[in-house]
Amino acid sequence: MFRTTISKAYRTPSLVTAAAMSRGSANRSVNSVIARRWYSDKTEAAAEKKETSDKASETTESTPISAEEFEKVKKASTEKDAKLKELKDAYLRSLADAENIRNRSKTEVENTKVFAIQKFAKDLLDTVDILELALKHVPKEHLADKVTNKSLVDLFEGVDMTRGSLLRTLERHGIESFDPIDKPYDPNTSHALYQAPIPGKTPGTVFAVEKRGYILKGRVLRSAQVGVVLDPSGN
């Protein structure tokens, strides 16, 4: 009967709950003790670290540096700064040289492309000159009578159209013609074949153009062949 009573007592829910709460309280107590000990150890370690750092700082501050050591450090710093400046200057010069080479190469490539047709264009200019010479030597009075001289007029117009087409082709490739008639003589763009005093004309101006001049992308491809007005006084 006694055993049955104890067994019932243990099976009672209130008694079981009380036992569990008692064990939980014991666990919390143990955890609290462990936490306090860990915090205490951590605090002591931090204090020791700070004390060691303060001692090292005091040792460093209290240890004076000699004048000789200071001069050595100062000299080393000066030499380092000079070396850095030298390396920086060399680096900047290298960058500038590389940029100059790049620009020069680019210009040379562009000029090669632009002026690759220079020799071929000069050969074509001879053809243009022949066509213009043929047109120039056709008497204008013959061109006025289109009925009697129909064949000559048609031939003249055909030659003139051929010349115009050839000039337009040259222009598409950057070649332009110029006619310096009645302009001041410029030895950079024109070549004087002869000089003559011309009444009513300003001395030093161009009064006749035997051959047109041509420019390729701003560069004189062929100078114009001209006649220049001569000053009668010889000046």
pLDDT in tens, 151-194: 999 999 999 999 999 999 999 888 999 999 999 999 999 999 99
Query: Could you tell me which of 116, 209, 120 has the C-alpha nearest to residue 166?
Result: 120
pTM: 0.53
Distance from chain centroid for Cα 37:
69
Structure tokens at 95: 């960058």
Q: CB–CB of 205/185 below 8 Å?
A: yes
Q: CB–CB of 147/133 below 8 Å?
A: no
Query: Could you tell me which of 173, 232, 185, 234 has the C-alpha nearest to residue 213?
Result: 185
pLDDT for 89-143, tens place per residue? 999 999 999 999 999 888 888 777 777 788 888 888 989 999 999 998 898 888 8
CB atoms within 10 A of CB 114: 15
Report the alpha-carbon distance of residue 155 to residue 227 in Å, rounded: 29
Report the alpha-carbon distance of residue 227 to residue 47 in Å, rounded: 106
Q: CB–CB of 167/135 below 8 Å?
A: no
Q: CB–CB of 206/181 below 8 Å?
A: yes
Question: What value does the mean pLDDT of the chain take?
Answer: 78
Report the alpha-carbon distance of residue 222 to residue 121 in Å, rounded: 10
Q: CB–CB of 191/137 below 8 Å?
A: no
pLDDT for 62-71, tens place per residue? 556 788 887 8
pLDDT for 30-52, tens place per residue? 455 455 555 555 566 666 666 66
